[in-house]
Amino acid sequence: MPLARATEFIDIRNLPPVDLIFGQSSMMAVAREKLERIADTTVPVLLQGESGTGKDIVAKLLHARSNRSNCPWVKVTCPAIPNSLIESELFGYEKGAFTGAYATKRGRVELAHLGTLFLDEVGSLDVSVQAKLLQVLQDGGFMRVGAQESRRVNTRIVCAANGNLRQQTEDGSFRLDFFYRINAVTIDLAPLRQRAADLPILIDYFLDLHSKAYRLNPKPLSREITSMMQRYNWPGNIRQLGNMIRSYVLIGSEETLVADLAPAAPAGIIPKIDLANPISLKEITKAATRDLEREIILKVLHANGWSRRKTAKWLKISYRSLLYKLQESKVGALPAGR
Ligand SMILES: Nc1ncnc2c1ncn2[C@@H]1O[C@H](COP(=O)(O)OP(=O)(O)OP(=O)(O)O)[C@@H](O)[C@H]1O
Ligand SMILES: [Mg+2]
């Protein structure tokens, strides 16, 4: 099976600027401070955050900022390695350990000697492998498959998880002792929806990045799109933002962005209903109608170059009524007078 290159050396110049990685939110300020405090220690670190919040980047930054930065960075994408291969991939094997083991091979743990071992999506590791890694965490000890003697390695272990590991310890799919070992320090990365103040610098960064990569010269994003982005909930976080901006740079029109950013069509979909408490049918349908109207209005506004007058005409409602609906559904960020 072709696996990614085993070891890498991280050049901090290839990472986004540190100020951009952390931005201005208080949650990311805490993350930054923790990272700076512990970069030079060997204490294990657990990076937690939704998909696309920058766990990979922060793990690399942690390595690049540590006194291990000239030594290897070894990443293991845990779910990408089948269970039958994971042990030999992590710990290596001796010649003759199994059919096909024609020569001794060092595993990722050993390759990370003096450097950093990054276990990505650690929650998917089998409990038997967790037990073996626990040993590495305790005293650096491990055994190549088929070996008679144990070896020792000096590596810094950084793990990443986007699920809830504590919950996994309750259902038995994650060992409690391993959990306590890997999260000596936990760094939580904020979802993009909680980093609205950072959106403008992130947008500029990706516009610049992709414009240079594709040698294109896109127009800056309109205020309307930026304000839709501020309200969007970003399930794919910064990765999704980067991808959206790349499409914009390539296609050169905001049309695709509007389609992506408009609230999910509630038509025909029953809104989330809390069955624990009595609900008001009137209020629920009112909210659903408002969401639907908002989506339609945004699309028609965009199609009409954000002209409110044209939009009102198009939707066969009065101009005043459109203004009222815009206000009611908090589409208030359109420039006055348009
Ligand atoms: N703070 C940031 N500044 C700039 N770019 C970022 C930032 N965070 C993430 N990115 C970009 O977003 C993409 C996803 O980031 P990354 O792979 O680090 O996320 P992740 O949390 O590891 O996601 P997953 O859980 O899916 O593995 C990458 O292309 C990365 O360059
Ligand atoms: Mg990742």
Q: What is the pLDDT of residue 280?
A: 83
For residue 58, which ligand has an atom nearest its CA? 1
Nearest alpha carbon, ligand 1 atom 15: 54
Residue 1: pLDDT band (50, 70, 90) is very low
Q: What is the mean pLDDT of the chain?
A: 90
Beta-strand relationship, 141-142 and 151-152: antiparallel
Backbone angles phi, psi at 92, to 5 degrees: 80, 180
Nearest alpha carbon, ligand 1 atom 23: 52
Radius of gyration of the chain from Cα atoms?
A: 25
pLDDT at position 11 over 90: no
Q: Which residues line ligand 1 (CB under 6 A)?
A: 16, 20-21, 49, 51-57, 162, 238-239, 242
Residues of the chain with CATH 3.40.50.300: 7-190
Nearest alpha carbon, ligand 1 atom 7: 54
Given ligand 1 and candidates 48, 51, 57, 62, which is best to mutate, with the most ligand atoms within 8 Å of its CB? 57
Intra-chain end-to-end CA distance of the chain, in Å: 58
Q: CATH assignment of 267-338?
A: 1.10.10
The HSE-up count of residue 333 (CA atoms within 13 Å, CB side) is 11
CA distances from 106 to 7, 19, 29, 35, 154 (A): 12, 37, 39, 30, 14
Average pLDDT, integer, range 21-32 = 96
- Residue from 170, 147, 301, 156 nearest 224 by CA: 301
Distance 120 CA to ligand 2 centre (A): 6
Per-residue pLDDT of 119-160, as tens digits, reads 999 999 999 999 999 999 999 999 999 999 999 999 999 999
| Cα 281–Cα 287–Cα 292 angle in degrees, nearest 5 | 125
Per-residue pLDDT of 245-295, as tens digits, reads 999 999 988 888 888 888 665 555 566 677 777 878 888 888 888 888 888
* DSSP symbol at 271: P
Torsion of CA 21, 25, 26, 27, to 10 degrees: -60
Distance 148 CA to ligand 1 centre (A): 41
Distance CA 182, CA 35 (A): 15
Do the beta carbons of residue 194 and residue 24 sit within 8 Å?
A: no
Least confident of 209-223, 230-244, 308-322: 308-322
Distance 7 CA to ligand 1 centre (A): 20
Average pLDDT, integer, range 285-310 = 83
Residues of the chain with CATH 1.10.8.60: 193-261
- Helix, strand, or coil (residue 75): strand
Given ligand 1 and candidates 210, 238, 241, which is best to mutate, with the most ligand atoms within 8 Å of its CB? 238
Distance 14 CA to ligand 1 centre (A): 13
Distance 308 CA to ligand 1 centre (A): 37
Residues of the chain with CATH 1.10.10: 267-338
19: Cβ–Cβ under 8 A, 6 or more apart, which residues? Answer: none
Q: How many CB atoms neighbour CB 83 within 10 A?
A: 11
Residue 57: pLDDT band (50, 70, 90) is very high
Question: pLDDT above 70 covers what percent of the chain?
Answer: 93
Residue 296: pLDDT band (50, 70, 90) is confident
Q: What is the pLDDT of residue 327?
A: 81
Torsion of CA 318, 324, 330, 332, to 10 degrees: 80
Nearest atom within ligand 1 for CA of residue 59: 18
Do the beta carbons of residue 186 and residue 73 sit within 8 Å?
A: no
Q: What is the pLDDT of residue 2?
A: 42
Tokens of 233: 């909930």
Nearest alpha carbon, ligand 1 atom 28: 239
For residue 31, which ligand has an atom nearest its CA? 1
Which residue's entry shows tokens 């029109």?
253
As beta bridge partners, residue 145 has 93
Q: Name the CATH code of domain 193-261 (choices 1.10.357.10, 3.40.50.300, 1.10.8.60, 3.40.50.2300).
A: 1.10.8.60
Given ligand 1 and candidates 53, 63, 120, which is best to mutate, with the most ligand atoms within 8 Å of its CB? 53
Burial class (CB in 10 A: 0-12, 13-18, 19+), 304: middle
Distance 240 CA to ligand 2 centre (A): 13
For residue 48, which ligand has an atom nearest its CA? 1
pLDDT at position 326 over 80: yes
pLDDT at position 25 over 90: yes
Distance CA 60, CA 285 (A): 48
pLDDT at position 41 over 70: yes
* DSSP symbol at 175: -
Nearest alpha carbon, ligand 1 atom 18: 54
Nearest alpha carbon, ligand 1 atom 13: 239
Nearest alpha carbon, ligand 1 atom 17: 56
Architecture of the domain defined by 7-190: 3-Layer(aba) Sandwich (3.40)
Do the beta carbons of residue 61 and residue 51 sit within 8 Å?
A: no
DSSP collapsed to 3 states, 98-116: CCCCCCCEECHHHHCCCCE
For residue 187, which ligand has an atom nearest its CA? 1
Tokens of 174: 């994650």
